[in-house]
Every structure is written in C-alpha cells, then in structure tokens.
Amino acid sequence: MQEQADVVGFLLVDKPNGMTSSDCVQEIRSLVDRKTRVGHAGTLDAFATGLLVLGIARAATKYLSSIMALDKTYEARARLGQLTDTLDITGRTVKQEECNLTREQMESAIASFGTGYKQTPPVYSSLKYQGKALSRHARIDSLGEDTLASIVQEKSRDIRIYSCELLDFQLPFFSIRARVSHGTYIRSFMNDLAEKCGSFATTHELRRTAIGPFEVKNALPLKVFKNADDVCANLISLDDMNTYLGVSMNP
C-alpha cells in the first residue's frame, strides 16, 4: 500500500479523557489517509489524559518501540479506602472503608519503595494471555478470579522509580508525581502505596506529563487536528527525532 510521502514523522498529542489510545490513532489516520500506517508509543487508559507520541507512516512507526521504552512521568490522584476491580474509577467497587492515614505515613510508604520493586500488574490490563488482553478475559469471566490472579502474579516485573513526590494529601485523596520505567502501572502503584499503609486505593485521575524528553506542554489537544495540513504542520521529522533520541532514522 502506498502511503502519503509527505506525511512522515511523529506527533505529540494530548489525549483527552474518555478516548482510548487506539481511538486517537484512528482519528489521526482518518485525517491523513486511511492507508497510512499510524501507531502510538505506549497505551494510556481511556480515563487517563496526557501525552501520546504518534508515529505517522512506516518510516516512523518502526521506531515507536524505542520511544515506548523511555521512562514516563505521571501525575495521579487516588482515593484511599476505596477499591475497584480495575483499580480506577471505571470499575466496580469491591471494598470500601474509612481511612485515617496521615501524610507522614504516605511519605514513609513512598520512601519505602526506594528506587523500584517487583510490581504485579492489574488484572484489567492490555497484557496478553492466550492471544487476548487480560481485561477481556476478566470482563467475560472466561478464566475465573483465581486463575487470573495467578496469571498476573506470573507476569510481575521489576520496575524502576526514578522519582516520586507527594503533591497533595487531603483525606480521603492523595496525589503524586512520579517518573518511572516503561511497563509501570500507576493504578497498581497507587494501590501498592496504600497497602504499605494498611489500606487500599483507587485511582481517580491519571495524566502522563512526559515520555523521555517529550513533555505534554509541547503537545496539542486531539481536537486541534482537523485535517492533514494540521498534522503536517506539527510533525517532528525523522531527523529531529534522531537528535532527541540519538537513533539513526532513515526513511
């Protein structure tokens, strides 16, 4: 399939709440040419907002895995004493209790994780099992809770925490800013922090503010892109991406 030769590069998009990362990809693809390959460097949950790096055309999308491997920065807000099956506000509440934690306890919990730990991913995630996302298995209850719990335990991985700051603490909510390694689930991290204090937590707001050297302040809201000209006017070229990442990108 022939792609538009003049639409090649990378786009920084500020994803809105309520859309999946794939929705954003489809939106941009519809503006350039439906035959043009478009992909993204890292999924954001539908309820989350923030930075998506999109690759436009095959010459760019083949480098998305290199961008995906970069560290990510997030800001998140969670409610203590509330637990949903998805660990976020889109899920079904399975447990709720009063919470009397203090700011000092939460700061101690953050410090206790140090520079990283072995994280168990959430059941509701895009991780694959038997060719399907775990979230799909969970929704249709094809495997059962015990089997799903065993699968995610097997998929636990070491994550890095480069920095984590407690931004706000006003019960029952707390907010953090964290820079973490690729593959970190912030929903899980927020609940893991709460569990360190003897409680649990559900993420209500999640925003990705950076991927490596790219910041959401330099991204444009998806609604800004109305046509192919808007896309072309805001593309990061392969040469410029090479400068950012030090990776040779030749069409």
CA distance 57 to 3: 7
Active site residue 230: no
Set 14, 45, 88, 192: catalytic member: 45
C-alpha–C-alpha distance, residues 227 and 194, integer Å = 45
Tokens coding 174 = 């707390």
Listed in sequence order, the residues at least 6 apart from 29 whose beta carbon sits closer than 8 Å to its beta carbon are 36, 38
> Coil, strand or helix: which one is 121?
coil
Q: How many CB atoms lie within 10 A of CB 183?
A: 16
Can you read off the two tokens belonging to residue 41?
A: 């460097």
Task: List Cβ neighbours of 48 (8 Å cut-off, separation of 6 or more).
Answer: 15, 17, 206, 207, 208
Whether 55 contacts 64, CB under 8 Å: yes
Read out DSSP for 192-215? Answer: HHHHHTT--EEEEEEEEEEETTEE
Rounded distance between C-alpha atoms, residue 61 and residue 236, angstroms:
13
Q: Catalytic site residues?
A: 45
